[in-house]
Structures are given as structure tokens and as C-alpha cells.
Copies of this chain bind each other. A is one copy, B any other.
Amino acid sequence: MKLADVNTEERILEAAKKVFMKYGLYGARMQDIADTAGINKALLHYYFRNKEKLFDHVFDGALSKYFQQMEVFSDKSLPLIERINRYIDQMIDFLTEYPQMSIFIIKEISTNPELFHDKVHKIKNHKSTSLIAVLKESIELKEIPDIDPVIFLMNLHSLCAYPFVASPIFKVIIEKSKTTWSDPNNEKHKQSVKEFVAFKLSN
């Protein structure tokens, strides 16, 4: 989407997303956002009273998109493994499009945990069932081995998201070993996560 094509409010939001994602709440400069949007500072305040409010818009959007990814888990028409595999595909595609999403959210939450709880409570009023619950059920029905659902969920998220989060570090580590590093090769990456899941959930 070209910034110049759309109306001012959207342009601001796009610009703010870019700048806040890179520098965070404190590091971002209103001037920078204005420049990116091709307008001047005063107009930012006209549309969004102040920096915090503008930030909130961006952050809320990011957070709800992120949680949205987990809705697949609720789709009872699919077998468990299939749901998880779709989650993997979807999450990795999502993070490819917004590679700074995780780090942005984590960064802001960890500097400001209080704020976070309220926000999540609004979002999580979703109809989505959590993977943990689904796993527990499958374990009781002996459909999958008796694994620890929390650890499994943690591992799953780790494998999907961390490569994006840590890509700045990886670039250097990899460089050291003279291997070239392009951003995570999605297909290989997805495959390796799916293998892990298959390994853990097969009897």
C-alpha cells in the first residue's frame, strides 16, 4: 500500500506502525512519524491527541492480529495435528510479513506489564479455545502421548517465533561461521517445526 494513496489518518497509522515497531514507545519520535507520513507534527496531534494515544492504536492492532493467529486451534472440524500444522504455516507467514511483530509486542509488554493485562483481557474475550485445553482433552482420550501441554505449547511457539525475534543476533552468529544467512527460509523452517510436532505427538 503506497502511503500517498490513502487518506491522512491511515497514512499516519502506517507511518506510526513503522516507527513504533522499530524504536518502541520511548525511542520513537513524533517528528519521525510525521516525516514518514509526509505531514507535519501538528497534524499528528490533530488526529490523535498525543503520543500515547497514537501508540495505543498501533499496539492494540498488533496485539489483536497476533492473538488472532491462534484461532485455528478452535476449529473442531480438523484433527489436532492438522490444526497445529496450519497454525505453524499461518504464524510463520504472518511473521514473515511483520518480522518485528513479536519483538515489538514483547518489548513493550516487558517494559510495561501493567498496561498489558487490561489490553489482553479485552482481546481474549474471543471465542477461541486455547491449545492447552485441546491438548489436555486429546491426552485424556489417549489420542496423543501424555506430554506436558504447557511445555509443548512453549516449545511450539519458541520454534515458530524466535527465529524472527532473534534474527539480528543470528545474522552475526551465522556470519561467524561463514555460512550466509538469508532471513529464515520459510519452507525449511516450517518443515522443521512440523517434524518436531509429529515427533512429540506420535505414539
Whether a CB of chain B sits under 8 angstroms from the CB of A79 is no
Q: What's the tally of chain A residues with a CB closer than 8 Å to chain B?
A: 56
Residues of A1-43 at the interface with B, using a CB-CB cut-off of 8 Å, are: 22-27
A165 touches B168 (CB 8 A): no
CB–CB B100/A150 < 8 A:
no
Q: What residues of chain B lie closer than 8 Å to A188, measured between beta carbons?
A: 148, 151
Is there an interface contact between B162 and A157, defined as CB atoms closer than 8 Å?
yes
Q: Is A94 an interface residue (CB 8 A)?
A: no
A200 to chain B, nearest CB (A): 8
Main secondary structure of the interface of A (DSSP, over half): helix
Asked whether A168 lies within 8 Å of B116 as measured between CB atoms, the reply is: yes
A155–B197 alpha-carbon span in the complex (Å): 13
Nearest B residue to A66 via CB reads B169
Give residues 156-175 of A contacting B (CB, 8 Å): 157-159, 161-163, 165-166, 168-170, 172-174
Partner of A150, one of B24, B26, B155, B179: B179
CB–CB A168/B26 < 8 A = no
CB nearest neighbor in B for A124: B176
A106 to B171, CA, bound (A): 12
A22 to B111 Cα, complex, angstroms: 6
**Which of A100, A107, A179 gathers most chain B CB within 10 Å?**
A107
A120 interfacial contact with B, CB 8 Å:
yes
Minimum C-beta distance from A36 to chain B (A): 16
**Residue on B nearest A130 in the bound complex, by CB:** B177
